[in-house]
Amino acid sequence: MGSTETREFPGMRADARRNRERLLAAARAAFAAHGAEAPLDDIARQAGVGIGTLYRHFPTRLALQEAVYRDQVENLCELGEGLREGAAPGEALESWMRALAGYVATKRGLSQTLINSLGKDSEFLSSCSTLIRETGGKLLDSAKQAGEVRPDAELTDVMRLCHAIVLAAEQAGEPEGSAERLVSLVLDGLRRNPAGSGDRPS
């Protein structure tokens, strides 16, 4: 989904909300291109605001990093909810897994920075992980109930496979093409009746 334009910020003026969204968008792009230590002056300039405006919304670099990370987590979860309501269970899970792999690929550096700053068991990172797991769990359960994936599939396995796909694709030197092929292979393995095979035992 990629933006938070529909989210509410109680008590914040419309122009302030727009500035915040522009700063988040600029920071997302800068962190993806240059890492989590991208210059804040450049981010403010790309957002079309002064550095003082950036600091009013995000008093520290860590606050901006957290906001970008949380924003992407919420986008991923909103996508999952939309897929669950508007697509067939198997298709919804497949689309979300592809989005999850893309999210992991673009956020690995930022994730490590936050782990280093906050600790991997911090309340912030734990709450983000919980949101993703709740969304993924609903999608996987729906696909199981529809008989479209193996009944023994576990969400933990799906999450680990998506992370492993990103690492393998990066090491192959062609992250986009490799990731697509590997996700397809994983999805074939998750299906209850993959093309050309018999029923899998329950």
pLDDT single digits (tens) 37-78: 999 999 999 999 999 999 999 999 999 999 999 999 999 999
More confidently predicted of 194 and 20: 20
Rounded mean pLDDT of the chain? 86
pLDDT of residue 5: 41
Residue 197, number of CB atoms within 10 A of its CB: 9
The full set of domain ranges for the chain reads 10-59, 61-190
pLDDT of residue 182: 81
Do residues 147 and 93 touch, judged by C-beta distance below 8 A? no
pLDDT of residue 201: 43
The domain covering 61-190 belongs, at the CATH homologous superfamily level, to Tetracycline Repressor, domain 2 (1.10.357.10)
Distances (CA, A) of 164 to 61, 95, 157, 195, 198: 29, 18, 10, 24, 27
Architecture of domain 10-59 in CATH?
Answer: Orthogonal Bundle (1.10)
Q: Determine whether 130 is exposed, middle or buried from the number of CB atoms within 10 Å of its CB (0-12, 13-18, 19+).
A: exposed
Among residues of the chain, what percentage have pLDDT more than 90?
60
pLDDT in tens, 115-149: 999 999 999 999 999 999 999 999 999 999 999 99
pTM of the model: 0.83
Instruction: Average the pLDDT over each of 33-42, 147-156, 169-178 and give the range with the smallest value.
Output: 169-178
Residue 4: is its pLDDT beyond 60?
no
pLDDT of residue 169: 76
H/E stretch holding 7 reads none
What is the C-alpha to C-alpha distance for residues 80 and 76, in angstroms, rounded to an integer? Answer: 6
pLDDT of residue 10: 61
